[in-house]
Amino acid sequence: MASSGVVVLDNGGGLCKAGFGGERDPAAVVPNCLGRSSSSNRKWLVADQLLAPDADVTSVSLRRPFDRGYLVNPELEREVWERLLRSLLRVDPSSSSLLLVEPLFSPPAVQRATDELVFEDLGFRALCVADSPALVHLYEASRRPPGGAQCSLVVDCGFSFTHAAPVVDNFTLNYGVRRLDLGGKALTNYLKELVSYRSVNLMDETLIIDDAKEKLCLVSLGIPRDLRLARRSGKDNPFRCTYVLPDGITHTKGYVKDLEEARRYLSLPDGSSTAQCGLKEVIEFQDDTEKLEDRRKIDLTKNEFNLTNERFLVPEMLFRPADLGMNQAGLAECIVRAVSSCHPHLRPVLFESIILTGGSTLFPRFAERLERELRPLVPDNYQVKITTQEECMEGWVAFGI
C-alpha cells in the first residue's frame, strides 16, 4: 500500500475509480456493478471480474448499487468495495483513511448508509467526503498561474446525469447547480433501441452496446450535413462502420471490424485534432492479441451490425433533448442557467473557466460543439473558454488528507 495511508475512491454510478493519496492516476478502474450471463449458471461476477478476458459478456444481467445517481443498495456496494479494496488495492481499511467522492445533493439516508458501510462494515479509521466539482476545480486551480481566477464552472457528464456546477474558492455553490437527467446510461439505452430497431435485437446486451458507444460515437458539428452524408451507400458514407459481436468461442468481447473505416469521418471539414485524439482510444480498447488485418477478414456470416447516423445521433441527446421529445433544456442552456444564477461579477469569469469532466465528454468534437452552442447564448463581451480532460483521458487526481 502507498505510504500516505489514504485511499481515494471516486464512487460513480457506472465506474469505481480507486487509488492512493498523492498519486496522479487511479490504481484500479472497475465497473460499479455485479453481472451474470444468462447462458451460464456461474456465480455473480463482481467489478473487475466482468473485464476478464474469458468473461462472457453476452446477455449479462446487471445489478447496480446505484440508481438515478444515488446509492440505493449498500449491500451490493459493499461487495464491490470489498473486491476493489482487498483484491485489487490490497489495503487494510483499519489502518487507512478514505477520501470518498459522492454525488451532489445526496439525501441524509444515503449519507448514513455510506457512513455505516465505511466504518462498521469496512472499518476505515477516518472518512472525508467531497463532491466531484470541488475536486476538479481544485486540480485545475493548482495548474493555473498564481493569482488566477479562483472560480470555475464544472460540467460533469456522468453515468446517471449531467450537471453544471459553479465552484468558488473550492466550494460548490449548490444554489447554482443545474442538472440534466441524461448521462452515459441514457445514451447507451438510446443506442440499444436504435440498433435493435434497425439491425439486430440487442436490448439485453448492455455491456456490448456500451462498448460500441465508447468506441464509435462522436459529436456532430453540423447535423443536417451529416444526416445527408449518412444516407449515402458504401464508401461514400464516411460514418458507416461495422461492430462485430462476440461469439463466445473465438471472441469473448466485441470489437470494431475496420478501424480505418471507422475513422473516415475525420476527412470531413471541421475534423479537428480533438477528434483524432478521441478516436485513438478505439485502438486501445481492442484485443492486443489480434492483428487488424485478421479482423477485416472476419467471416461476414458472423453476428455484426452496422452504424451510420447512430454514431452522432446518440450524443446529440445531450445538446438537443427536445428533438427526441424530452422536456429538458440542452447542455448549453443548462450551463447558461447555472452561470446566470450566480452574482453578476462572477459570470464572465465562469464562462472563461468551463471545465469538462465525465466519460461522455470524451466523445470526439464534444468541446468544439459545446463552444458553438454556447457562443450565441453568451453576451458578446464575454469570452468562452472550455478546458477538456487532460490528454483526452478521464480526469483523476488523488489528494492526500
Sketch out the chain's domains with CATH numbers. Answer: 6-124 (3.30.420.40), 138-181+328-388 (3.30.420.40), 184-268+298-321 (3.90.640.10)
Q: Show the low-confidence residues of the chain (pLDDT under 70).
A: 1-4, 39-41, 147-149, 270-302, 390-401
- Give the pLDDT of residue 323: 83
Q: What is the pLDDT of residue 3?
A: 52
Region for 209 from its dihedrals, namely left if φ exceeds 0, alpha if ψ lies in -120 to 50, beta otherwise: alpha
Residue 269 CB-density burial (10 A; 0-12 exposed, 13-18 middle, 19+ buried): exposed
Contacts of 1 (CB under 8 A, 6+ apart): 20, 89, 90, 91, 92, 96
Give per-residue burial for 102-111: e unless 16+ CB within 10 Å, then b: bbbebeeebe
pLDDT in the model for residue 270? 66
The reported pLDDT for the residue numbered 296 is 46
